[in-house]
Amino acid sequence: MNVLVFAARKGGSGKSTLTAHLAASRPAKSCLLIDCDPQGSLTLWHKLRNNEELTIRSGLRGVGEIIKSAKKEGFEWVMIDTPPNMSSIVTEAIRAATMVVIPARPTVFDLTSVAETIALCRDVRKPYAVVINGAPAKREGVESPIVSQARAGLSSLNVPLWHGQITNRTNFALSLADGEGVREYDASSFAAAEIAGLWTAIEKSVKVINGASGGSTGVMHKVAA
Ligand SMILES: Nc1ncnc2c1ncn2[C@@H]1O[C@H](COP(=O)(O)OP(=O)(O)OP(=O)(O)O)[C@@H](O)[C@H]1O
Ligand SMILES: [Mg+2]
**Cβ pair 82, 5 in contact under 8 A:** yes
pLDDT at 43: 98
Distance of alpha carbon 12 from alpha carbon 152, whole angstroms? 22
Tell which residue, 69, 70, 63, has the closest CA to residue 93: 63
3-state DSSP assignment of residue 131: strand
Query: Which phi and psi (to 5°) does residue 79 adopt?
Result: -120, 120
Q: What type of residue is 207?
A: K
Q: What is the DSSP letter of 159?
A: -
* φ and ψ of 59, to 5 deg: -105, 20
Residue 110 CB–ligand 1 contact under 6 Å: no
The confidence band for 221, taking pLDDT boundaries of 50, 70 and 90, is: low
Query: Domains along the chain?
Result: 2-224 (3.40.50.300)
For residue 217, what pLDDT band results from cuts at 50, 70 and 90?
A: very low
117 lines ligand 1 (CB under 6 A): no
Interval 11-23 mean pLDDT: 97
For 64-121, how does the pLDDT look when each residue is reduced to its tens digit (9 = 90+)? 999 999 999 999 999 999 999 999 999 999 999 999 999 999 998 888 889 999 999 9
pLDDT tens-digit readout, 124-176? 999 999 999 999 999 999 999 999 999 999 988 889 999 999 999 999 999 99
Question: For the chain, how many helices (H) and strands (E)?
Answer: 10, 7
What does the pLDDT read at residue 108? 86
pLDDT of residue 222: 60
pLDDT band at 187 (very low <50, low <70, confident <90, very high): very high
Mutate which of 5, 6, 9, 16 to test ligand 1's pocket (most atoms within 8 Å of Cβ)?
Answer: 16
For residue 139, what pLDDT is reported?
Answer: 95
Give CA separation, 24 vs 95, 141, 181, 211, 215, in Å: 25, 26, 5, 26, 32
The number of the ligand 1 atom at minimal distance from the alpha carbon of 81 is: 22
Q: 17, 18, 87, 105: which to mutate for ligand 1, most atoms within 8 A of CB?
A: 17
Is the per-residue pLDDT at 52 higher than 90?
Answer: no
- pLDDT exceeds 50 at position 189: yes
Residues with CB under 5 A from ligand 2 (ion): 15-16, 41
Q: Of 84, 26, 43, nearest to 176 (Cα)?
A: 43
- Does residue 8 surpass a pLDDT of 80? yes
Residue 166 CA, closest ligand 1 atom number: 1
Q: At residue 224, does pLDDT exceed 50?
A: no
The CA distance from 7 to 118, in Å, is 9
Ligand 1 within 6 A of CB of 58: no
Mean pLDDT for the chain overall: 92
pLDDT of residue 215 exceeding 80? no
